């Protein structure tokens, strides 16, 4: 009889455990269901950071909803004067997320107005964020934590990319958040030469164009573009960006210069595995997202020499396999 009682107790415990697992699974399914009901495409969310409500657009592909599989996270940063919606339109990263199965966030910088003229603080640039010393690196860190907590994001596969002022902020994210960011991909951005040493190595793919009227290939001051939006510190030549990360990552100093395509030169550094630094320089590249759409009505026409979104995703996959 004692043996039968023991068996009965074990069966009861097993049933309770099974019931608990079913409840947990049901709760998780309901949570994902609620998210799906709220919308699985581009949905605007907000978090409060440093006493300020900060907005971001989140795109979660439908096939990810309800999945337990951890997926990559791409954070796409708009250019100066833009916003998250501008980045969605310009980069076409939502379409890429749908085909490849990752989550993409399009946060907005800070500014005096609610939904326009947003900027990122990259020390010497740009605008409102620079002048107010906005802690954008802290905001991006909090955003990463929020998305890792609430969505099936793999914390080891986080990419930060962006255009122009957003490209600069991608550099700053790599410099300050190397423990959370695996790869950066600045597009038509620049550096000023006095950035602090990065806290750790980060793989980097950098893209610039030789016909960029705002980020000069040889560096220097560009008063027409950044008047009243930056502090006047001269920009470094565009290759300074990849040289900076090559040094941080322990790569050999001189890159191999390769004709990647007929009008595209690749500067490929010899780096430790998973910490590659590559710099694509486009002969016809303008101040725009290659292969994407112009950032605004009067924006430069994007070159079609490459698709920046495709190149960035291929590099990201290679670095985080």
Residue with tokens 């027409």: 224
CA–CA separation, 152 and 149 (whole Å): 8
Residue 78 has pLDDT above 80, yes or no: yes
Lowest mean pLDDT among 113-122, 219-228, 293-302, 304-313: 219-228
CA–CA separation, 33 and 27 (whole Å): 9
Name the residue ranges covered by the structural domains of the chain.
34-319
Neighbours of 7 (CB within 10 A): 10
CB 121 within 8 A of CB 229: no
CA distances from 266 to 236, 239, 256, 262, 298 (A): 19, 11, 8, 11, 29
List % helix, strand, coil for the chain (3-state, nearest 5): 35, 25, 40
- pLDDT for the residue 40: 56
What fold characterizes domain 34-319? Rossmann fold (3.40.50)
- Of 77, 106, 259, whose CA–CA distance to 184 is shortest? 77
CB 65 within 8 A of CB 151: no
What are 41-67's pLDDT values in tens digits? 789 999 999 999 999 999 999 989 877
- pLDDT for the residue 114: 85
Residue 235 has pLDDT above 50, yes or no: yes
Average pLDDT, the chain: 88
Which parts of the chain are beta strand (E)? 42-49, 52-59, 71-77, 103-107, 153-163, 183-187, 203-209, 256-261, 264-268, 277-282
pLDDT range class, residue 22, cuts 50, 70, 90: very low
Comparing 35 with 116, the larger pLDDT belongs to 116
- Of 122, 113, 75, 77, whose CA–CA distance to 97 is shortest? 75
Residue 8 has pLDDT above 60, yes or no: no
Residue 31 has pLDDT above 50, yes or no: no
CB 119 within 8 A of CB 109: yes
Residue with tokens 């890159």: 255
Whether the upstream peptide bond of residue 35 has omega within 30° of 0, thus cis, is no
């Amino acid at each position: 009889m004692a043996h039968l009682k023991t068996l009965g107790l074990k069966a009861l415990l097993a049933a309770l455990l099974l019931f608990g697992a079913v409840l947990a699974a049901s709760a998780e399914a309901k949570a994902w269901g609620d998210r799906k009901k709220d919308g699985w495409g581009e949905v605007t969310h907000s978090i409060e950071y440093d006493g300020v409500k900060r907005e971001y657009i989140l795109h979660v592909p439908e096939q990810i909803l309800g999945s337990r599989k951890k997926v990559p996270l791409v954070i796409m940063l708009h250019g100066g004067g833009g916003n998250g919606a501008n980045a969605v339109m310009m980069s076409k990263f939502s379409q890429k997320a749908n085909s490849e199965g990752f989550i993409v966030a399009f946060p907005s910088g800070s500014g005096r107005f609610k939904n326009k003229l947003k900027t990122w603080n990259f020390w010497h640039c740009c605008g409102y964020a620079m002048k107010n010393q906005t802690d954008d690196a802290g905001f991006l860190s909090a955003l990463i934590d929020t998305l890792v907590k609430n969505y099936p994001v793999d914390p080891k596969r986080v990419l930060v990319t962006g255009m122009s002022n957003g490209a600069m902020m991608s550099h700053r994210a790599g410099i300050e958040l190397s423990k959370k960011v695996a790869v950066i991909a600045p597009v038509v951005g620049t550096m000023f030469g006095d950035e602090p040493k990065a806290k750790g190595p980060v793989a980097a793919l950098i893209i610039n164009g030789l016909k960029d009227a705002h980020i000069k290939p040889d560096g220097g001051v560009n008063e027409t573009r950044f008047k009243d939006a930056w502090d006047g510190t001269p920009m470094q030549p565009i290759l300074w960006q990849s040289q900076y990360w090559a040094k941080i990552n322990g790569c050999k100093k001189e890159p191999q210069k390769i004709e990647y395509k007929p009008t595209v030169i690749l500067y490929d550094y010899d780096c430790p595995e998973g910490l590659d630094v590559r710099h694509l320089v486009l002969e016809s590249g303008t101040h725009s997202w290659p292969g994407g759409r112009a950032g605004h009505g009067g924006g430069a026409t994007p070159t079609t020499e490459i698709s920046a979104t495709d190149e960035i995703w291929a590099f990201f996959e290679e670095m985080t396999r």
